Amino acid sequence: MSILVIAEHDNNALKPATLNTLSAAQQLGGAIDVLVVGSNCQAVAEATKAVAGVNKVLVADNAAYAHILAENVAKLIAMLGKGYSHIIAPATANGKDILPRVAALLDVNLVGDVMAVLSPDTFKRPIYAGNAIATVQSTDAIKVLTIRGTAFPAAAATGGSATIEAVSEVVTAAKTRFMGEEVVKSDRPELTAARVVVSGGRGLGSGENFKIIYALADKLNAAVGASRAAVDAGFVPNDMQVGQTGKVVAPELYIAVGISGAIQHLAGMKDSKVIVAINKDPEAPIFQVADYGLVADLFTAVPELTAKL
Amino acid sequence: MKILVAIKRVIDYSVKVRVKPDNSNVDLANVKMSLNPFCEIAVEEAVRLKEAGKASEVVVVTIGPKAAQDQIRAAMAMGADRGIWVETADTELDALTVAKLLAKVAQNEQPQLLLLGKQAIDSDNNQTGQMLAALLDYPQATFASKVVIEGNEALVTREMDGGLQTLGLTLPAVVTADLRLNEPRYVKLPDIMKAKKKPLDSTSPDVLGVSLQKSVNLLRVESPAERQAGIKVDSVDALIDALKNKASVI
Ligand SMILES: Cc1cc2nc3c(=O)[nH]c(=O)nc-3n(C[C@H](O)[C@H](O)[C@H](O)COP(=O)(O)OP(=O)(O)OC[C@H]3O[C@@H](n4cnc5c(N)ncnc54)[C@H](O)[C@@H]3O)c2cc1C
Ligand SMILES: Nc1ncnc2c1ncn2[C@@H]1O[C@H](COP(=O)(O)O)[C@@H](O)[C@H]1O
C-alpha cells in the first residue's frame, strides 16, 4: 500500500485542506507521498516536508503548472500515480476538477467526498445533499478519492522529515489557455477552516447590509459565508456559498442570519458543533437544526449582539 | 456548431429523500422526479447559444430507464432540437461507465461543445464531465458561470474556491454548468406540444459497444445522524449567556 496525496496550495502556502486529507491517508495506512504541483512553489514543498507522517514530497515546479489546469495536471498525476494503491486529494474546487479526469485516464472510478475510511477499499460518502450516507466498496486496482476536509482532523503540520524529489516531466496544456482570474482577497479566516462562521442569507436584503455580518464576524474572528440566494442576488461573491453545491463547513460555531434553512444549505453546515439561527420567522426550518434560535429582526439583533460581545 | 447536452433524470430538488428500512438504498417509490437542475442550466445555455446564432443544433442525450424520456421531452420543450436515449435499466451506473457511453455518443455526433451539469443532485458525484473530457482528450472547464463562443474557442468563467477564473478552450471542449450560468426559462404549453413532435432516437450500451461493469459497489445506505432539537432564546443577552456558559464556544 502506498498513497499519493495531491497537495492543495496557492504556490505560496499549503492549504489546511491538505492536512485533513493527510489524516485520511494515515487512516488508509501505508507510505504517504505528497505531490506538490505548481509554479515557484518551493515554499510549499518545504512546508509539506515538515508535515508529520509524510515519506516523500514530489515537486513538479514549472510555469506550465502555474494555474493548475486540469488538462495537463491530470495527465501528470495519472503518470506519476500509476504505481500507487491510492491517489487522494481534498474535495476542493481543484480536487473535484482534476481527480475525476485522473481516474478516467487510469480507467478507474472515483469515490468523491469521502467522509469516513472503513478499510482501504470501503468508504462512506454523503449522497442526496447529505440526506443519506452511502457505504461503498471499490474494486479498482488504484483507488482515486477526494476527501471531505470537515470529516477528518488536521494532521500535525510539524514533526515530519520527508525527502524532497523533483519531478522532471513537463506536461503542457495544448488546448487550455489561461486568461485571467479574480481572486477574492480577505484578511478573514478561510471559510472551510474557520473556528467560527457567520453566514447571511436573502434576509440581509442587499450587499451593503452585509456590513453588519462582517462587523459581527470581526468581533468573533469568524469567516463569512452566505446562502445561494445571497450569492445569486449579488450581495456577496460566489466563493462564500455554503451548501450542497457550495462549500462544506463544520466550525465550532455557525451563526445563520436571515437564512431559511433549505436542505441544500443545511447540507453544507449541519455538521457544525453549535448552530445559532437568527430569523424573524419562527417557522423557518433552520430552527429545526439550531441549538440556539433567536426569533428576531436581524437588523436589530445582529448589531446588538456585536455591541455586547 | 453542434452542441451535445447530457441530461439526467433525478429526484426533484424539493423532495427530502428517505432511506429504506432495510438500508439497501434510498426509497424512490412514488417520488417526484425531474430534470437535474444543473442539466437544466446546461440545456438553457445551449439553447441560448443557438438563439444567439452561435450554434446550429442542440442535441440532448440521457442514459437511463424509459421514464428518462420525460426529461428529454422537457429539454426539447426548452428548445433542444433532437434527443438520444441510451436505454439502461440500471439507474446507478458508475460515473466512468456513463462517461464511456457519452464518449461514444459524442464520437458518433461530433459536437463542438459538450455541455453537462456540474453535479447530479442524487449521487452528488461531480465527475462525469471531467471523465468525459479525459476519455475524448478534450479540454475542460468545470463550474462555469459564463460561456462565450469566440472563433474556435469557448471562453469560460469558472467559480473557484477563491474567486473566478477564465479559460479559453480550443473547441471541441467539455463545459460543466454551475448555478449562476443562467436562469432557465419557464416552458409554455405550446412548447411542450411542439416537443412531442421532435425526433427522439434510442440506442443501447450494446450498440455503443460499452459494457456496464461496476467497480464501485453500494453496500449500505443509512440516514445521517440527526441533530437534537435545540432551544429558543428570547433575547440577545440570553443568546450570549448560552454561548458563553452552556456551549462554551465564545
Ligand atoms: C440545485 C440546487 C442547488 C442549491 N445549492 C445551494 C447551496 O449550495 N447553498 C444554499 O444556500 N442554497 C442552495 N440552493 C438554494 C436553496 O434551495 C434555497 O433557495 C436557498 O438556500 C435560500 O436562501 P436563503 O435562506 O438566504 O433565502 P430564503 O429562503 O428566501 O430565506 C430568507 C430568510 O430570511 C428571513 N428574514 C428575512 N428578513 C429578515 C429580517 N429582517 N430579520 C430576520 N430574518 C429575516 C426570512 O424569514 C427567511 O427565512 C440550491 C438550490 C438548488 C435547486
Ligand atoms: N445517466 C446520465 N445520463 C446523461 N447524463 C448524465 C448521466 N449521469 C450524469 N450525467 C451528466 O453528468 C453531469 C454530472 O453528473 P455526476 O457526475 O453524476 O454528478 C450531469 O449533470 C449530467 O450532465
**Helix residue spans in A131-222 (DSSP H):** 211-220
Residue type, A86: H
* CB-based contact A232 B161, cutoff 8 Å: no
d(CA B203, CA B189): 29
The model's pLDDT over A238-271, given as tens digits with 9 standing for 90+, comes to: 999 999 999 999 999 999 999 999 999 999 999 9
Mean pLDDT of B24-44: 97
Helix/strand/coil for A200? strand
The reported pLDDT for the residue numbered A102 is 98
Burial of A288 (0-12, 13-18, 19+ CB in 10 A): middle
What would the 3-class secondary structure string for chain B be? Answer: CEEEEECCEEECCCCCCEECCCCCCEECCCCCEEECHHHHHHHHHHHHHHHCCCCCEEEEEEEECHHHHHHHHHHHHHCCCEEEEEECCCCCCCHHHHHHHHHHHHHHHCCCEEEEECCCCCCCCCCHHHHHHHHHCCCEEEEEEEEEEECCEEEEEEEECCEEEEEEEECCEEEEECHHHCCCCCCCHHHHHHHCCCCEEEECHHHHCCCCCCCEEEEEEECCCCCCCCEEECCHHHHHHHHHHHCCCC
Cβ within 8 Å of A, B 201-240: 215-224, 227-237, 239-240
Give backbone dihedrals phi and psi of B91, rounded to 5 degrees, phi first.
-95, 0
The answer to whether the CB of B116 falls within 8 A of the CB of B128 is yes
Separation between Cα atoms, residue A127 and residue A169, nearest integer Å: 37
User: Backbone phi, then psi, for A57, in 5-degree steps?
Assistant: -110, 120
- The stretch B32-61 carries a mean pLDDT of 98
What pLDDT does residue A185 have? 85
Which of A10, A119, A127 is the mutation pick for testing B, counting most B CBs within 10 A? A127
Using 50, 70 and 90 to split pLDDT, how confident is the model at A42?
A: very high
- State pTM to two decimals: 0.97
Cα–Cα distance for residue pair A286/A266, rounded to 1 Å: 8
User: Three cell numbers at A44?
Assistant: 510549499
Please state, in angstroms and rounded to a whole number, the distance separating the CA atoms of residues A9 and A176. Answer: 21
Does residue A186 carry a pLDDT above 90? no
Report cis status (omega within 30 of 0) of the bond before B37: no
pLDDT tens track for B213-236: 999 999 999 999 988 879 999 999
Average pLDDT over residues A87-101: 98
Chain A residue numbers with beta carbons less than 8 Å from the beta carbon of B184 are none
Phi, psi at A92, each rounded to 5°: -95, 180
Residue A90 CB–ligand 1 contact under 6 Å:
no
- Give ipTM to 2 decimals: 0.97
Distance CA A182, CA A180 (A): 7
Report the largest interatomic distance among the alpha carbons of chain A, rounded to a whole angstrom.
61
Ligand 2 atom with the smallest distance to the CA of B91 is 1
Does the pLDDT at position A78 exceed 80?
yes
So what's the pLDDT on residue B228? 82
User: What per-residue confidence (pLDDT) applies to A191?
Assistant: 95
Q: Is the pLDDT of residue B7 over 80?
A: yes
- Ligand 1: distance of its center to the CA of A231 in Å? 10
CA distance A254 to chain B (A): 10
Question: Is 90 exceeded by the pLDDT of residue B84?
Answer: yes
Phi and psi torsions of B205, nearest 5°: -55, -35
Rounded CA gap, A221 and A268, in Å? 20
Q: pLDDT, tens digit, for every residue of B99-133?
A: 999 999 999 999 999 999 999 999 999 999 999 99
- A154 three-state secondary structure: coil
Q: Could you tell me if A259 and A227 are in contact, meaning their C-beta atoms sit under 8 angstroms apart?
A: yes
- The average pLDDT across B208-216 equals 96
**Distance in Å, CA A157 to ligand 1 centroid:** 37
3-state secondary structure of A238: helix
Cα torsion B192, B195, B197, B201: sign: negative
Ligand 2 atom closest to the CA of A100, numbered from 1: 17
Q: Crossing angle of helices A211-220/A298-308, nearest 10°?
A: 30
Average pLDDT over residues B152-176: 97
Q: Copy the grid coordinates of residue A256.
A: 445563520
* Closest CA to ligand 1's atom 30: A202
The verdict on a CB contact (< 8 Å) between B122 and A105 is: no
